[in-house]
Each structure stands twice: as C-alpha cells, then as structure tokens.
Structure 1
C-alpha cells in the first residue's frame, strides 16, 4: 500500500490516481483532482510562509493525505476502507451522481473524518489550539476552490445558467453549508479526539465514521426536489469522466479559481 513521506510524494501519488481514473473513466478522479490542487496550494503556502508553522503543516498534510491514499488503495484491493470512504468510492461507480455530489462525498469523508484525526495526530491536548490558524487556512483553500466552481462547470453543464436561475443557486448553498459544517465539525472532533486515551480511539473512530457515512447518504440522496434537479443536470452533463478531469486540469494550469465540481 503506497504512502507518502513528503508533500511532493503526495502530489505524485495523486497524479497516479488521476491518470488511472482517466484511463478507467472512474469518477474517483474528480475529487482526487480537487484534492491535488488543495495539496499544491498548501505546498505553496508553506513555501511563502502563509502558515504559522510550516514544518508542522507539512507533517499534517502528509498524515492527512495518507488517510485518503490508504482508503483508496484498500478499496482498489477490495479490502474494507473506512465506511464513509467506501460509500464515496461506491458512488463513483454509479451513473447518477453529478460531479458536485462526487466532490461533496470526498470532502465529507476527508474533512469530517480524516482532517480531525490528522490534526489530533500532530497535536497534544496542551497545544492543539496553536493549530487553529493553520487548520482554518487549509479549509479556506478548499472552500475557495469549491466556491469558484461555476467558472469551470459551463463545459460540463450546458444548461448551468438556467439551472442556477431556476434553483436560486441551490448548488452554492449546498457547497457553502457543507463546507462550513464540515470545518466546524472537524475542528470540534480534533479537539475531542486528541484527548481520548489510545485504547478508546478505535471505538471513537468507528462511531465517527458511522456518523459521517450518514451525512454521505444525505449528499447522495438529498431529498426529492434536489435529487430530481441533480438527475436532470446529470442527463445534460457533457463529456466523459476523463474529459471532465481534463477540463479541471486545464483550468488549474490556467490558474482559474475553481476546481471541478459539477
């Protein structure tokens, strides 16, 4: 099972997953592409001094990424990853989820479960509050990328303008609500998890995983009206999965402030 030891290795492994996803036409590559851009921006932030503690941030980033990499390789090997990641990967094999849902499922598992754990692993009860600024910086990067998605979705949703008018930008609300809730919940969980004795952590993780999987089920089936809108959008999504990932890569290379989520 491949694991990274540096941010550069994280980016390399994410690139491998993205290329495999393009070959396999796998929607797993959609979140991976978004996450790669987050990782690149974290690396740049460390280099330009955006974080209070660059050394700690690289350690956090690698631990954080390795949780995703572990879940991915477990799934590929037909082993059992955490329940929320297993659900997200299974949805990637289904026709109906739109790009937005694939991204939200990845964000849900990675932020709501993995980020809290990684934050606790680089902290102690005494010093975790010192991490808050840098923790918020990571989430700001992710929020900014997801928040600019409309600029990148025009190619994927030919009917996007009409949908946004009709729904009152329901997609933005979905993203903003999810990100705010995920950020606050992840920080709360990190503070709880860092204080739990080692022999109780596995039970705590299992319970957290179950709760996050329930959120994933809501993302997958957000109610009759929203589900109907999403199905309509899905029917008019343009391009293969590989083309959607390529569109995201082009957008990233051009520096467009968005990341693939439709």
Structure 2
C-alpha cells in the first residue's frame, strides 16, 4: 500500500473518506476515529473559509501537517510497518473485541493530539512566534472538544439501553471524555512550546520519549480500572450492529444533522 500524503485540506478530507470506506469493507474499527477526524477537518475548513481563525493560511498548513502524521501512521500500519508507538497501540486495539466505540475514539485522539499536534505546531512556528499560534490552537481544540462531547448520542444510537447505564453510573463516559480532553489540550500546548525549542538533531529522541509517555496514557484508556472496565465491557456486549453498521450510523447521523459526534 502506497504512503499517501495530503497537499491541502481538501485532500485530507478525500483521504479520510477513503479510509472510512475501506474500513466499512474490512469491518475495521479504524473507521470510527476517521469519521470523527473527518468532521474536525470539515469544521476547520469551514472556519478558514469564514475567517474564524486569525491566520487561515497558517491554519491550513497546520491542518495538513497534522493530518499527514495520522495518515503516515495509518498507512505504515496497513503496510505492516511500525508507526509511532502510541499509534501502533491504538491501531492494535482496533483489531480487538472489547474496546467500545468511545475507547477507539479516545485512543485516536490521545495519539493525535498528545503527540502529533505539538509536533505539527512546532513545524510551522519558531520559538519567537509560537505564542501567536495559541488563539488558533485553542480554537482547533475547542472544535474537537465540542465534537467529542456528543459521542454519547452516537453510542445511544448503537445501543439504546445505554441511556439507563449512563444514568446509573453518573454518566461515567462524559467524565472520561472531559478528563481526557482537558489533559490533552493542556499537554499538547505545553509540548508544542517545549518541542519548538529543541535543536533539530535532538528532536527524534524527544519525539520517542514523548511517544512512550503518550502510550502509557493509551494503556490507561484501554484499561481504565476495574469498575470503568466492567461498565465498558457490559456496554460492549450489547453494542448493536456490525462495525460497518456502526460506521454508517455515525455517517447518517452527521448527514441528517443529528450531530452524532457534535455537541
């Protein structure tokens, strides 16, 4: 499989569409994060067109570099090569039975925000001007946070009785999302500011160290403790539909403005 990389934001969306369609055919959970990420990219594109960002040209450059890190990891995994450790772990979980939809999304977000976003931000900035990026950096994270806030609606569509479980457990999934997003937002910006100051010949070692730390977070997402894991396993046993049907449900909800992955 060739290593596909995007040159602009429209190509990012096209390549995500291809991953989603392939995931339907392969019955692969990899398509779940791709749907969420596609929606994020569409919102960023709309924001650029509407002048919502301070610097639209810079934001598209960031979006493409950011996306290409995910695409590179995806195609490396498909070619049975070794992507970054945190992406490799996330992709491996996609082949397993027990992770629920929420965990697949969080694993993708963990790798992409906590590792990739800081690196991409540093690539388009210098130590002197990275502060100028913060407002737009916060906006792209706000888009993602708002989208993830509605994952519960999509889970309820896949498994209607989830409503009762969430009520009984005090909406444990919402807590899980909020905690992860707050940690990711703060950590990604801190890492971006640290990484931009790292000399070129030391960057690979810095990335590897960061990768190891983010993989540890991924392990916690995969195994969040006895009680949460027990709830998630119960949810997984009653998830409705094939993987392809779950992917289609998320797409239909988006197309019908039901906002499956939007708050």
Asked if structure 2 preserves the Cα contact closer than 8 Å seen for 1:144 and 1:258, the reply is no
Query: Given the alignment of the two structures, is residue 51 of structure 1 paired with residue 53 of structure 2, yes or no?
Result: yes
78, 81, 88: which is aligned to 1:79? 81
Cα deviation, residue 151, structure 1 = 2.2
Deviations 1:172-229 (A, max 9, x none): 0000010010010000000000000000000000000000000000000001111000
Moved more, 61-70 or 141-150: 141-150
Aligned with 2:249: secondary structure? helix
State how far apart, in whole Å, the 1-side matches of 2:258 and 2:121 are.
29
Q: How many angstroms does 1:251 deviate by?
A: 1.3
Q: Distance in 1 between matches of 2:219 and 2:156?
A: 27
Whole-angstrom CA distance in 2 between matches of 1:50 and 1:255: 21
Q: Secondary structure at the match of 1:155?
A: helix
Is the CA contact (8 Å cut-off) linking 1:42 and 1:138 kept in structure 2? yes
User: RMSD over aligned Cα, in angstroms?
Assistant: 0.9
Which of residues 184, 188, 201 in structure 2 aligns to 1:186? 188
Give 4+ residue runs of structure 1 displaced > 6 Å after superposition. none
Q: CA deviation at 1:33?
A: 0.5
Deviation digits for residues 35-62 of structure 1, max 9, x if unmatched? 0000000000000001000000000000
Q: Is the 8 A contact 1:158 1:236 kept in 2?
A: no
Distance in 2 (alpha carbons) for counterparts of 1:135 and 1:35 = 16
Q: How much has 1:84 moved relative to structure 2? A: 0.2
Match for 1:90 among 92, 108, 112? Answer: 92
CA distance in 2: counterparts of 1:64 and 1:207, whole angstroms: 19
Q: Structure 1 unaligned segments of length 5 or more: list them.
A: none
Deviation at 1:155, TM superposition (A): 1.9
Map of 1:130 onto structure 2: 132
Partner of 2:115: 113
| 1:144-181: CA deviation from partner (whole Å, max 9, x where unpaired) | 01101222222212221111111101100000010010
Distance 1:259 1:245 in 2: 12
Partner-residue secondary structure (3-state), 1:154: helix
**1:69 counterpart = 2:95:** no
> Contact 1:147/1:258 (CA < 8 Å) preserved in 2?
no
The structure showing larger relative contact order (alpha-carbon pairs under 8 Å, at least 6 residues apart) is 1
* Partner residue, 1:27: 29
CA distance in 1, matches of 2:260, 2:181: 15
**What is the CA–CA distance in structure 2 between the aligned matches of 1:8 and 1:187, rounded to whole Å?**
26
Tell me the matched-pair count: 260
- Identify unmatched segments of 5+ residues in structure 2: none
* Mapped partners of 1:248, 1:257: distance in 2: 9
Q: Does 1:175 align with 2:187?
A: no
Cα distance in 2, alignment partners of residues 34 and 239 from structure 1: 19
Q: Scaled by the length of structure 1, what TM-score is found? A: 0.98
One of 143, 161, 180 as aligned partner of 1:159: 161
Q: TM-score, normalised by structure 2?
A: 0.97
